[in-house]
């Protein structure tokens, strides 16, 4: 059955965004609840979805996630019945595990794997594999994305962490929200940026022309910052280390395209075959690029504070063979 709750806004919560207020209220309940089966832990994204659908209201009226709470406000929550978890089937998909303990698991996600089911994609995802591997995962962080704290694009490989407990999920999610995690990526780009190091500070918004894409905007959108360092220069390509200060959808791909150096193989943001193959300095490079058949982007390093031990942990995911082949062929031309 649907679960209903009413929250009264305390004086110290005045001015708080509605979505943050609901998230905090549910987190406090979970931390003090003795019956774990009655705890509710929802991601910020899911809470925002409930607000937009009218399941969370202020003073009995629909509101917006960014509404700032006022004195006397009453927040009501009607939590809809979750979709049965069995609609997401566990699948015995091999996992490249970098680290695992009782509360979290760190993986090297392969390119081509979607992180969680959505739309027509209901199998073959990282969640399907995790449900088969982790007995405690169901229900952690929401029915649709159990255990998932952050995402990588389908065609981006590399390090990703998933939570096994509600506490770990909340703790890790808060770190990503506060941008205190460490995230380094490796990418091959079309062309060579003019400076050895640089910072791309440009706001990102969803494209009005194509809702599947993001774009840089001069006003509005979300604050986004990417730092880059050139590791190697080639003939019309470069190998970069990128550090995320923020973590927006498609951030690295959008930012690099914005400065005129899209990720090689990224047909969505300008680094596709029309440019990359045209610029390839040898038939061997063209062959490696064709075999890659995706954006040359890899999440190399992930660092965060362990939710229970409070130890700073850092993990590195080896770059996959297809991207290494591309890099090696570019190096051979230079040699």
In degrees to the nearest 10, what's the CA dihedral of 34, 37, 42, 47? Answer: -100
Angstrom distance (rounded) from CA 195 to CA 117? 40
Q: Domain 182-334's class?
A: alpha beta
Beta pairing, strands 157-163 & 297-305? parallel
Distances (CA, A) of 126 to 84, 106, 152, 160, 195: 18, 12, 11, 10, 37
Q: Where in the chain is the domain with CATH 3.10.290.10?
A: 3-79
- pTM listed for this prediction: 0.76
Q: Where in the chain is the domain with CATH 3.30.2350.10?
A: 89-177, 182-334
The domain over range 89-177 is classified in CATH as 1.20.1440.230:
no
- pLDDT digits (tens), the chain, 335 positions: 446 788 988 888 899 999 888 888 876 665 444 333 344 556 677 788 889 888 899 999 999 999 999 998 999 998 766 555 457 889 999 999 999 999 999 999 999 999 988 767 788 999 999 999 997 776 676 666 788 999 999 999 999 999 999 899 999 999 998 999 999 999 999 999 989 999 999 999 888 778 788 999 988 788 999 999 999 999 899 999 999 999 999 999 999 999 999 999 999 999 887 798 889 999 999 999 999 999 999 999 999 999 999 999 999 999 999 999 999 999 998 65
Q: Which of 12, 35, 120, 153 is catalytic?
A: 153
Catalytic residue list contains 153: yes
CATH of 3-79, one of 3.30.2290.10, 3.30.428.10, 3.90.1150.10, 3.10.290.10: 3.10.290.10
Provide the sign of the torsion angle of the four alpha carbons 137, 138, 139, 144, taken in this order: positive
């Amino acid at each position: 059955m649907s679960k209903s709750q009413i929250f009264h806004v305390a004086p110290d919560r005045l001015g708080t965004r509605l979505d943050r207020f609901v998230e905090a209220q549910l987190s406090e309940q979970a931390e003090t609840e003795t019956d774990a089966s009655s705890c509710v832990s929802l991601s910020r994204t899911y809470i925002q979805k409930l607000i937009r659908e009218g399941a969370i209201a202020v003073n009995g009226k629909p509101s917006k996630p960014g509404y700032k709470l006022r004195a006397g406000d009453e927040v009501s929550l009607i939590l809809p019945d979750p979709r049965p978890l069995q609609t997401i089937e566990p699948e015995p998909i091999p996992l490249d595990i970098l680290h695992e303990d009782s509360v979290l698991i760190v993986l090297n996600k392969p390119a081509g794997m979607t992180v969680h089911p959505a739309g027509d994609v209901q199998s073959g995802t990282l969640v399907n594999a995790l449900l088969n591997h982790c007995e405690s995962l169901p229900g952690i962080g929401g029915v649709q994305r159990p255990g998932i704290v952050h995402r990588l694009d389908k065609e981006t490989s590399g390090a990703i962490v998933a939570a096994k407990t509600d506490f770990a999920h909340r703790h890790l999610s808060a770190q990503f929200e506060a941008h205190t995690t460490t995230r380094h990526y490796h990418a091959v780009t079309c062309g060579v940026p003019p400076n050895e190091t640089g910072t791309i500070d440009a706001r990102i918004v969803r494209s009005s022309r194509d809702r599947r894409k993001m774009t840089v905007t001069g006003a509005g959108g979300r604050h986004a910052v990417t730092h880059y360092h050139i590791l190697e220069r080639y003939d019309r390509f470069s190998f970069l280390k990128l550090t995320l200060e923020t973590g927006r959808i498609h951030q690295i791909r959008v930012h690099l395209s914005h400065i005129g150096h899209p990720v090689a193989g990224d047909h969505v943001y300008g680094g596709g075959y029309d440019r990359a193959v045209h610029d390839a300095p040898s038939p061997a490079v063209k062959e490696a690029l064709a075999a890659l058949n995706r954006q040359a982007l890899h999440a190399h390093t992930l660092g965060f504070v362990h939710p229970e031990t409070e130890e700073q942990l850092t993990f590195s995911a080896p770059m996959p063979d297809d991207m290494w082949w591309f890099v090696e062929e570019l190096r051979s031309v230079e040699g």
